[in-house]
Structure 1
């Protein structure tokens, strides 16, 4: 572990996050732990706010072990709410603030939450779905909004200043539930991953050990706190290592580096879409004017542009493999020569393998399904909430099945190939959609691309491309087809092309490929000849 001048205090001796936070507040109450949009919070201020809210929630009937829904955009009070629920031993279900309609109704109903804490800006969409979630009996409203009918309305601000005190803290067990976080649900209704109390501690341990983080680090994220990246890789890790979390309300490409610079960030967390957007911004003299030494989550940057990204922004990229269900089971480090050329090596907390359809382990370099299981407790989810069959299927034969195709090479590095559901089977060949997308995105003028399999009249599948042009650019289908013929194998050649203004995304900002698997409509061009329009 790297120590850059200050004693490394990891906090990994704790088994739950609230116990750690209480200890930090006693050790140095005036140390700044959170920077939210430039407003600084000390340990004492953050813990006092969480204690106050916890007392109010107890008076509202919230108790240990109860599932409480929490739907909020990024906001400092979202952090206070997270900690207050930890203080009570309640199980927080952070609800994606981008959900609407049936997807939102499913999470509200399936979670079994009786109490829902909601930011006022989201109340209208929640109210619309309450008839489909009859178990929700009380809503704690933060900010001005209309009161939905049929449920008890409780004012959040009143709870924050309540004179009620929470009961004495009862430390939970490391395997007791802490969060229920619902996955994207691209192949069916979203499933709720139950994450245990030890999860944030163990996930922070991985970052501390592998990335050399210390209490001197400022961890920055513009990602939403209802996802595991900002919640655990940034906020949770900062709490555990006793550094500082720097969070902002929302991502903006135009202000991103200004916010990073103002926060004094040394480590930045992104997802693929964010990193690719940053790369597309016009270069400027301030690109390297910051203290960032590493960025994680940059898989969205094309492999052949990652060295350019590092040089332009003066930082190191690290890549790895993580899921809501598993946590971060592989990674590279900032000093690794392979840091952005693979999906990392398995970390000591997990056993990782590649298996065939019968779960037989495959030799190095052979493509199969990536599977994982823990060596230490608390590092993965305990199962899917209220879905024992799905849990059993995911953990069959003693392994958690990721649903990803990959290889583990002789040097130990994982190389991701594709999602099993997204791989395309054509003429007896298994095609990686990501390899097709990488080649197509190299064509001048393309901002985003998705490759999907669609039914073929010859059996198996044909390749369909869906592309989004860069602003004010037009895509010439014939020129793109020539590019594909020059850069892709014969069996990977696209049969169909669709040009859209934007790709459909899930609530977790992943491309919603099932919506693209069609060949009808006026925007779909049959490159083999006969087609429908563009």
Structure 2
């Protein structure tokens, strides 16, 4: 099947004029685009389609449902919902009302759930019925919930008592709520970080931040009116939420799958007619591990946003599936700040800095380093409220991350003379061994090029000398065989001798967050086990 090609690009400068600063709120964008695109599909869940015009009704009726439940402008509404239509009923309704949605990971429970409900101060929870039993296992006296609305079929509805209030069923009201005046600086959502290294922080995302998310994503991906955007990622994270705004801003349609499925991915692309989709870096090797078919190239997919994919895997993927992978840098706190369209991309880099943003690369004292020297990436936005405004209820963490008036990303990068940025590592994932700084990301890339390796995580563990040693947990492809010595032989030509792992664990699974990030602190906590291979005790000799 011939792939879609870019025809006439959208007038990007005109978009910023059409949506003046004061108009960069979700309700205003919804109304403006409903007038423009009317009966065009805005979003679809497995055949359930909602047009641009219908989205206005859903937003205003959802707002009325929330209003009747006691929600007012500025209140927080906790939402625990997978990729299903009710997610947008609540999200759009809260935005219409001027309330703040707090989408929570559907996998959370226990102390993490307790923390997020406490920290956000949400008085209303809207959640899938199957989730609500988790509330019985937390200390309800420490949370502020006064109402719970349950999503699900009637027979699924639990008879649950929360802080002396019984839960009721979520249902769109028959009437519409009026829309209050909102500012682009008003909070739209509080999104909790995955908490891979500590307690989760609630990132306060303003309405205007998502205008700029849409603007920069769509510009880099060269989205045109009528494009079909497919996401398999969870709506409670920035990536998928941004996809909704990309569709809204450009007059495109978003198709939402329940979840990512390697075996069903190509079928989803074909059935939806998607021209654009989104992957996390780890998903590309997973897809490459599926059996090849003669239909791998039979689709209309033009481009995939897939940050963090090793160059070798990206080339193999593009050749096999006949589409383009684009890299980039973004975070919940910032925006899509680094990235280049296909015509300007440079393999092995994230791309160039986007207009409207400033970047510095600094040392541990926030002193700028020279071109070609690695350091921490600091960011700042020129456009109003293009970045998050801080961490909810955590002024100390806000000051720490935004010290010296720059957002400290915690990412170690390097910039070349042509202005392209290359990701090195998370600062906290840098391994210090015998006077050398080792990038776990670079070691992972080297190990990942072995054809028997399906996935890998590299992290520091303490040695007898009380310094860091390099350890790797490795998942092999089904039916693949590989010895630690063979893996060492493969790595030695690819990385410095001091970066070659000392410890190897072959494992079946790696601990991950809901969005696929490896929880390395869990691996560090586990550390060396009786099954761990130790290079120094095996007789294996490194070439120096």
In the superposition, the TM-score normalised over structure 1's length comes to 0.94
Q: Confirm or deny: 8 A CA contact 2:212 2:335 kept in the other structure.
A: no
Q: Confirm or deny: 8 A CA contact 1:504 1:511 kept in the other structure.
A: yes
* Residue equivalent to 1:260: 269
Q: How many pairs were matched up?
A: 524
Taking a change above 3 Å as real, the CA distance of residues 214 and 82 of structure 1, as seen in their structure-2 partners, is same
Alignment of 1:229 onto 2:239: yes
* In 1: Cα distance, 2:284 partner to 2:135 partner: 31
* Residue equivalent to 1:373: 380
* In 1: Cα distance, 2:361 partner to 2:410 partner: 11
Q: RMSD between aligned alpha carbons?
A: 2.0
Q: CA deviation at 1:130?
A: 5.3
* Residue equivalent to 1:4: 7
Q: Confirm or deny: 8 A CA contact 1:85 1:92 kept in the other structure.
A: yes
Q: CA deviation at 1:296?
A: 0.2
* In 2: Cα distance, 1:484 partner to 1:43 partner: 52
> Structure 1 unaligned runs (5+)?
none
Of the candidates 277, 285, 292, which is equivalent to residue 294 of structure 2?
285
Taking a change above 3 Å as real, the CA distance of residues 519 and 269 of structure 1, as seen in their structure-2 partners, is closer
* In 2: Cα distance, 1:256 partner to 1:442 partner: 23
Alignment of 1:199 onto 2:209: yes
* Residue equivalent to 1:311: 319
Of the candidates 89, 113, 134, which is equivalent to residue 98 of structure 2?
89
* Residue equivalent to 1:454: 461
Taking a change above 3 Å as real, the CA distance of residues 473 and 53 of structure 1, as seen in their structure-2 partners, is same
Q: CA deviation at 1:530?
A: 7.2
* Residue equivalent to 1:362: 369
Q: Deviations over 1:160-200 (max 9, x none)?
A: 1x34542x312311111111000011221000100011111
* In 1: Cα distance, 2:373 partner to 2:393 partner: 35
1:110-509 superposed matches below 5 A = 110-129=119-138, 131=140, 133-143=142-152, 144-151=156-163, 152-157=165-170, 159-160=171-172, 162-166=173-177, 168-232=178-242, 234-299=243-308, 301-338=309-346, 340-509=347-516
* Residue equivalent to 2:542: none
Alignment of 1:522 onto 2:530: yes
* In 2: Cα distance, 1:239 partner to 1:121 partner: 31
In the superposition, the TM-score normalised over structure 2's length comes to 0.92
Secondary structure of 2:475's aligned partner: strand
Q: Which moved more, 1:418-427 or 1:471-480?
A: 471-480
Q: Confirm or deny: 8 A CA contact 1:123 1:145 kept in the other structure.
A: no
Q: Confirm or deny: 8 A CA contact 2:307 2:350 kept in the other structure.
A: no
* Residue equivalent to 2:108: 99
Taking a change above 3 Å as real, the CA distance of residues 31 and 507 of structure 1, as seen in their structure-2 partners, is closer
